[in-house]
Structure 1
């Protein structure tokens, strides 16, 4: 394996920064997957410029920049 390719992967935003924006890491995974599917389908994002090219990375960036907010169940119940 090429040494340069070895370290490629998710670098921005960091996982620690993302987990801080979600009530749980599981909700984060679900929200990112759902948003990535939507990006693939519509080809539209909430950001003008992104560092990532793939839909998963773009979804993560949107969460990091607070374009998408992940709510807890309690937050959802308060708004209803």
Structure 2
């Protein structure tokens, strides 16, 4: 079974597109400095670590300002 569960991640993010944007943005940050916000991530890849951080509630996600 995949960790974290994709269905729960999508429910937490609101949509799969928003989840993708969150994970991609954080994965780029991890590429630059390699400091995960969680201890002992299960994944060895940056996107997986970003998803684990989001699932753990360690990422602050602000809604996009409406124009």
Q: Normalising TM by the smaller chain, what interval?
A: 0.7 to 0.9
Instruction: Report what 1:28 is aligned to.
Output: 19
Partner of 1:5: none
1:56 and 2:30 aligned: no
Runs of 4+ in structure 1 over 4 Å off: none
Q: Is the 8 A contact 1:36 1:59 kept in 2?
A: yes
The 2-side partners of 1:72 and 1:22 are apart by 11
Task: Name the larger-Rg structure.
Answer: 1
More deviation, 57-66/21-30: 21-30
Q: TM-score of the superposition, structure 1-length normalised?
A: 0.72
Alignment deviations for residues 20-45 of structure 1 (CA, whole Å, 9 cap, x no partner): 11122111101100100100111111
Q: Partners of 2:60 and 2:11 in 1: how far apart?
A: 11
- Structure-2 change in CA distance of 1:71 and 1:19 (3 Å): farther
Structure 1 regions of 5+ residues with no counterpart?
Answer: 1-9
For these two proteins, the number of residue pairs brought into alignment is: 66
Partner SS state of residue 20, structure 1 = helix
TM-score, with length taken from structure 2: 0.85
